[in-house]
Amino acid sequence: MALQLQREIRGMMEMLHFPGWIPELVATRAREGVGVDLLWAAIERHDAFLRASGELETKRANAFAHRVRALVMGDLAKRVDARIGALVHAADRNGVDPYRVAAAIIGDAARGLPDAGDARVAESPIRASVKGL
C-alpha cells in the first residue's frame, strides 16, 4: 500500500514544475522509527538550500510583512466599523449613498498613510506550477 501511495504522489509531483528546490518524498513510519533518519537528512538538506539560496531570509521577511499586514488590517477593520456606525445614521437621514460614505472613510484613512507608490511590497514567489501552463 505504501509503495502505491508513493508512486501516486510521485506521479502528481511530476505534473508540477518546482523552481529552485524540488521537494523530496520520504516515507516514514514514526511508531517503528523507520525512515525518520532519512526524513531528518532531507530536512537538513532543505534547510541548507534555503540558507544558501537566500530563500530563508526572503521567507522570514515575507512572514514578517504578512504578520504586520494582518495586525494593521485587523485594527483598520475595527476603526472602519466604528466609522461606518457613526456615518450610517447620518447617511440615512441625509440620503447619502454608500459610495460617498466609503469615499469619506477612504479619504480619512488615506490622509494618515503614505502613498502606496512609496512602499515596496514583496510578492510571494510561486512555489509550484503545473507544467505546460
Per-residue pLDDT tens over the stretch 19-65: 888 999 999 998 999 999 999 999 999 999 999 999 999 999 999 99
Kindly report the backbone phi and psi dihedral angles of residue 39, in degrees, each rounded to the nearest multiple of 5, phi listed first.
Answer: -65, -45
Residues 6+ apart with CB under 8 A from 47: 56
- 21 vs 50: CA distance, rounded Å: 9
> Cell for 49?
538550500
CA angle (27 as vertex; 25, 29 as ends), nearest 5: 155
The pTM assigned to this predicted structure is 0.62
